[in-house]
Amino acid sequence: MHYGPNPNAIYPNEAIKSICFIKNVVTRSNIIVGDYTYYDDINGAEKFEEHVTHHYEFIGDKLIIGKFCAIAKGIEFVMNGANHRIHSVTTYPFNIMGNGWEKSTPTLEDLPLKGDTVIGNDVWIGQNVTVMPGVHIGDGAIIAANSVVAKDVPPYHIAGGNPCKIIKKRFDDELIDHLLTIKWWDWPARKIFDNLDTLCSGELTKIKEI
């Protein structure tokens, strides 16, 4: 008996090769992804890492994505390696051009490092979204297509735009607190399978009966 797709498969549904489980295609140790989180891209879903840019091990920042996230094509996670000095006369990166200019190589302390980028569980990110360094997106959040996310998004909120702004809460505070307490994404596969009708129901109070 199967209680859902194999979380260790690259393609959860072999008939749909535009969707892949990200954790099974990443090779970088500084990208951490939970079970069942997928990237959807007809041009190569398994190339997810190409959409995580300016990500250098010597900086030490991580991209951390939770379980059961849905990430649409065109995503770009801009990591801390994209940052330039901002407290000097010029932001120009002379050092990477070489030919003597490397004498101006900045130290990590010179750069505006924002820390890890963290995406919670059950987050839906629409097409062509850019997530800037150090952003935290909470569990159950939704990010509208074509957004540029430069600030944190709380759990179970809908946000969109450039710059991305909070549009509204998905649910009332009581239900949000309940969902953050039960953490359904951590349930075993059998329990999720047995409660799919409730998880996918518009009758929101049913989740409190489990």
Residues in the chain: 210
**Is there a catalytic annotation at residue 51?**
no
| Of 62, 58, 61, 57, residue with least CA distance to 107 | 58
Q: Looking at residue 190, what DSSP letter applies?
A: H
Cβ within 8 Å of residue 86, ≥6 positions away: 112
- Cβ(21)–Cβ(43) under 8 Å? no
CA distance 4 to 16: 15
Whether the Cβ atoms of residue 141 and residue 167 lie closer than 8 Å to each other: no
Could you give the CA distance from residue 108 to residue 121 in angstroms, rounded to a whole number?
31
> Which residue reads 């330039």 in tokens?
84
What SS3 class is residue 206?
helix
Burial of 2 (0-12, 13-18, 19+ CB in 10 A): exposed
Helix (H), strand (E) at residue 70 = strand 70-72
Q: 51, 55, 84, 136: which one is catalytic?
A: 84
The catalytic site residues sit at: 84
